[in-house]
A and B are shown apart, each in its own frame.
Chain A
Amino acid sequence: MRVTKITTMLLLACMTAMPAWADSSRILGTGGASTIEGAAGGGIVPWAALVGYGSEGEWGAAAFSTQLRVTDYSLDAKGLAISYNNRVEVSYARQNFDLGTLGDALGLSGHRFRQNVFGLKYRVSGDLIYGTLPQFSVGLQHKNHLDFAVPALVGGLRDSDDELYVSAAKVWLAGVLDRNVFLNITARYSRANQAGLLGFGGDLGDKRDVLLEGSGGFFLNRKLALGMEYRQHPENLGFSPQDAWKDVFVAWFPTKHLSVVAAHADLGTVATLPDQRGWYVSFAVSY
């Protein structure tokens, strides 16, 4: 927790000092938002886009704070990501998951548990906007739990794991109704239960699966984007089914230094409790 706070404050301090420099050069919105896992993307899906606005020879960065409140649970995520040369991105997120009512039902004294997510992303080829091919990136995430008692209780086998993903993203200028349209498809190779919040692997499976994820939407104007997301999860736990996560979002980019995302999320059944729906709000300072 302390590490996150200190690094976030350091980054914030740097960014406050940054307006003295020239802005990084990529177009507004092309850095995307920050996922709950720290990588640049939508809210739940990492995109082929790299964090911030850095282009050739430039840095990009974002520090974010996200809150997700659904029927019976809540998730807070904070973290940061840095990119260089619009080529490589390094990210970190700390997630705090609160069990709420399920914690009471299970007779647990502590309702909260925490997960670290370390991320690395590499742009293999292409550009979001220019050229006919999409931008392709590959990413690696390492996740580890700091409080594994509850995930172990529901059948999660591992308290840490690595996952790999490939992403393709493209923006079509004046794509539909003269609005700029974007689409990102991600395939993730993972055995994470509920994105790792319930550990990795389980009684029904301990092998990684290819999971599909997607985000799409359009920019109403330069600063305001609307879209939706979808993310699959594996079926590793006999304890409870896992549904795909979905959300519809509004993202606002008033400047290159700030973004705000609000979403309505539907996580389906999470740890036996059905119909987990609610709100997602994310703030990020970026460069």
Chain B
Amino acid sequence: MSHAKALHRRTEIRKPLVALLLACCLAALASNARAGTLYEDLGGNDGVVGVVDQFLWNLADDEHVSHYFVETNLERFRSKLIEYICVKAEGPCTYTGDSMERTHAHMGVTVTDFNVTVEALIHAMESQHIPTGVQNRLLKVLAPDYATVVQE
């Protein structure tokens, strides 16, 4: 194959690719203007409380995980979870709850329970109209908890 032809072919495949990537980056940037910390982008205290409340409703509705909360003091759990997410999102809070290890010790949380919980959080963020990029950032800072929460 001649160089000219090879070059032509390479350009041919690149054209749709470059156009696609460009379109995506623009779209991503347009919907992704960072205002500040993750906490601020979540909508501050109101935003975090909105997500946590919807998250708790979603968990309560799920047969995989709802049984874990039968003997939980839900008001305490809710306030500690709001603090926890606030701190993880670099908000102006102090976490006064127990460590993740202690909270989940002996619970026997499975991978499936963890996945269900993550999905409950995603659906909560969706219903609170949290933008995709902000959702991803919160998931990213919470994802390392997998190692301490799931007992494999």
A178:B132 contact, CB within 8 angstroms? yes
* A275 to B, closest residue via Cβ: B9
A228 to B12 alpha-carbon distance, docked (Å) = 15
Q: Determine which of B21, B62, B112, B135 lies in contact with A55 in the assembled complex, contact meaning CB atoms within 8 Å.
A: B112
Please tell me if A149 contacts chain B, counting CB pairs below 8 Å. Answer: no
**How far is A127 from B118 in the complex, measured between Cα atoms in Å?**
14
- Known contacts A174-B137, A179-B132, A248-B16; A56 and B24 CB within 8 A of each other: no
Q: A131-B146, A178-B133, A220-B24 are in contact. Are A57 and B110 (CB under 8 A)?
A: yes
Name B's interface SS: helix
Which candidate, B27-35, B68-76, B83-91, is the interface stretch facing chain A? B27-35
A31: shortest Cβ distance to chain B, in Å? 12
Q: Are A22 and B17 interface neighbours, CB within 8 A? A: no
Q: Are B9 and A177 in contact (CB under 8 A)?
A: no
- The B82-132 residues at the A interface (CB cut-off 8 A) are 110-112, 114-116, 118-119, 122, 126, 132
Nearest B residue to A250, CB-CB: B20
> Which range contains the number of B residues in contact with the other chain?
35 or more
Contacts of A55 in B (CB 8 A): 110-112, 115
Contact with B along A178-194 (1 / 0, CB 8 A): 11100000000000000
Q: Is B140 positioned at the interface, with any CB of A under 8 Å from its CB?
A: yes
If the complex has contacts A26-B115, A57-B110, are A179 and B28 also in contact, measured as CB distance less than 8 A? Answer: yes
Query: Closest chain A residue to B150 by CB distance?
Result: A130
Interface contact B134-A178, CB-CB below 8 Å: yes
Contact B24 A218 (CB under 8 A): yes
Point out the residue from A22, A56, A178, A266 that lies within 8 Å of B63, measured CB to CB: A22
CA distance A58 to B17 in the complex (A): 37
Q: Within 8 Å of chain B (Cβ to Cβ): is A129?
A: yes
Q: List 5 A-B contacts (CB under 8 A).
A: A26-B115, A178-B34, A178-B132, A179-B133, A264-B16
- B-side residues, CB < 8 A to A, are 1, 9, 12-13, 16-17, 20-21, 24-25, 27-29, 32, 34, 62-64, 110-112, 114-116, 118-119, 122, 126, 132-137, 139-140, 143, 146-147, 150
